[in-house]
Structure 1
């Protein structure tokens, strides 16, 4: 999914008339919100089967947009890949492949990682990652606003 959005990012922009500043603003907000929720230590309602309402279709999220390739990831991939040429598209795809490998290793050793970190360590790591995501989101938002201001001044 990430490869498709990274490779087709520019075509999708042209098809729907989306500008890079608009993607950066929307993507920045999404990434910030994900980081903010991680900082608060709260889980997504979509992935919590106990809090799901009868009207919520929990199957839609995992089938349509997997947890690892959600809206924030897609927006980030398109942001990095579509802003430059084919070299950046290839680099973005390669970096996401490395991230997939790291994620796979973390999944394989997740029981050991949780045992070593403990509940408190896991909470601290989640909040630190949330802070990093929030900062990335704000940076994307600021770049989007800057690009928009530059765009309207032309």
Structure 2
């Protein structure tokens, strides 16, 4: 029993280090800075639910999926890095979701669709369930034992709950920042996201070079 608990803690800390809810909270706030409280809750719930599904699927059949499509982890990291860097650049330029920040009555439905798209990309993939998170899930569940699979999926589920709490209560910071503060945070998070994307890109290229040699 002690071995299982120790392993579960190790798995949880591994996921926590990769998908850090503390670091991701300002990113989430930057991406949803002018949405309402209800919209922000929907985005957080959908993003984390999709992240859980993605990680659970890769924990169960990750190696098989990669082999089936001929995908390598470096290629996955390179693609994810490009996507994250582009989102960060967009935020840095102040072009963040202008079409959904002040929706009219006529385009309210399409605006909600755009908000939900934020939850799918870039939040769920590749920020939350990115290459590092997926690789971690595959590594922890690669033994083939049911107990390792259950611990891996369970640990990530707990982390998703914690992340949801961080995302929702992080809204309180928005009230104190005001409009100008939100713009500064958005651009700062855009810079950080761009750097994270470049770092993922470098890691992917390094991995690809290593595989070639």
Range of TM-score over shorter length? 0.7 to 0.9
Do 2:80 and 2:201's aligned partners in 1 also have CA atoms closer than 8 Å?
A: yes
Deviation of 1:125 (Å): 0.9
Relative to 1, partners in 2 of residues 1:104 and 1:140: Cα closer, same or farther, differing over 3 Å? Answer: same
For residue 96 of structure 2, the aligned residue among 43, 56, 75 is 43
Relative to 1, partners in 2 of residues 1:132 and 1:96: Cα closer, same or farther, differing over 3 Å? Answer: farther
Structure with more helix by fraction: 2
1:147 equivalent to 2:207? Answer yes
Relative to 1, partners in 2 of residues 1:146 and 1:100: Cα closer, same or farther, differing over 3 Å? Answer: same
Do 1:39 and 1:126's aligned partners in 2 also have CA atoms closer than 8 Å?
A: yes
- Summarize the alignment of residues 1-154 of structure 1 with structure 2, pairs less than 5 Å apart: 1-9=50-58, 10=62, 11-44=64-97, 47=100, 66-71=117-122, 73-76=124-127, 77-84=129-136, 85-86=139-140, 89-90=152-153, 92-107=156-171, 109=172, 113-153=173-213
Structure 1 residues 97-106 or 20-29, which shifts more?
97-106
Structure 1 residues 34-43 or 97-106, which shifts more?
97-106
Do 2:85 and 2:196's aligned partners in 1 also have CA atoms closer than 8 Å?
A: yes
Do 2:87 and 2:193's aligned partners in 1 also have CA atoms closer than 8 Å?
A: yes
Aligned length: 142
Do 1:27 and 1:72's aligned partners in 2 also have CA atoms closer than 8 Å?
A: no
Q: Quote the Cα distance in structure 1 between the aligned partners of 2:201 and 2:70.
A: 19
- TM-score, normalization by structure 2: 0.55
Q: Which runs of 5+ in 1 are unaligned?
A: 51-56
- TM-score, normalization by structure 1: 0.73
Q: Which runs of 5+ in 2 are unaligned?
A: 1-49, 104-109, 142-150
Deviation of 1:86 (Å): 2.2
